[in-house]
Structure 1
């Protein structure tokens, strides 16, 4: 019985030195893969970003530290008293596994507390990806880089609210 099987090198020889389909091209260099985006840091070593949610706008500065988050000059536990709002703010750090590694200073204007917490979360996620571009895919996959564009519908003339009509009176 003759052996009809051929090794890959024999098949490459038959193809005239051309790589056989399925062969991976040789890597050009052994340098580490660099992210497509570059780090954006100011002169003080901070990353800046703006976050928005509903009518709230948050300006966020992020720098390496101990995990302190300061909102409008106050600690996050004082400004956002509800634990769910503090949980919302820390979501980008949990997804990126960077809890208590960065200090955050932010100013928030407009909207209510829930919208402000969402704006701070959006700003932290943006600033985190500007400080560490390699984290962008994880934060983006979690959906934190997308601005939630839902806002309250305006009140219309002749209506009690945005869509609610006044009570109808037959007589």
Structure 2
């Protein structure tokens, strides 16, 4: 039996949207007023999970909530996020970046606070592509004279 965790409506009047990216991960994040639920929908499995269960580690969960704590808005927003690609840590950082962008839509005056903490700068480090003649991006085959 599948239980739907999302029992709220996302609309223009109660939600603020932000997109976050990190490595191969993409997160679409909605900050929701009048709810305290935190739900993640994984695109590959099309299932919804409580955020604490999906992220598995407390360090990743606290990383996602860091922009909200920094703005002093603890408990005022619920989070609904759809994630795809990458691993759990990349997805957590993508959600964090998406939350920071959504907070800017809620209150543009938070820009200075979030920028000083480095939450508005996209971490652009991506996986380097594999080159022909090599095993990986830079790792080559062992050279043998004969």
- Note the residue ranges of structure 2 that are not aligned, 5 or more in a row: 1-10, 42-47
Q: Write the distance in 2 (CA, Å) between the matches of 1:54 and 1:91.
A: 20
- Tell me the TM-score normalised to structure 2 length: 0.83
CA 1:146–1:46 in structure 2 vs 1: closer, same or farther (change >3 Å)? same
Work out whether residues 90 and 121 of structure 1, in 8 Å CA contact, stay in contact via their aligned partners in 2: yes
- Tell me the TM-score normalised to structure 1 length: 0.72
Does structure 1 residue 159 correspond to structure 2 residue 134? yes
RMSD across aligned C-alpha pairs, in angstroms?
1.4
Tell me which of 78, 93, 104 is aligned to 1:129. 104
Q: Write the distance in 2 (CA, Å) between the matches of 1:168 and 1:84.
A: 43
The structure that has the greater radius of gyration is 1
- Cα deviations by residue, 1:35-84 (Å, 9 ceiling, x for unpaired): xxxxxxx5342111111111111111112235432111211111100112
Q: With a CA cutoff of 8 Å and minimum separation of 6, indicate the structure with the bigger relative contact order.
A: 2
Match of 1:79 in 2: 54
- Note the residue ranges of structure 1 that are not aligned, 5 or more in a row: 1-41
Q: Write the distance in 2 (CA, Å) between the matches of 1:98 and 1:153.
A: 38
Structure with more of its chain in strand, by fraction: 2
Aligned length: 130
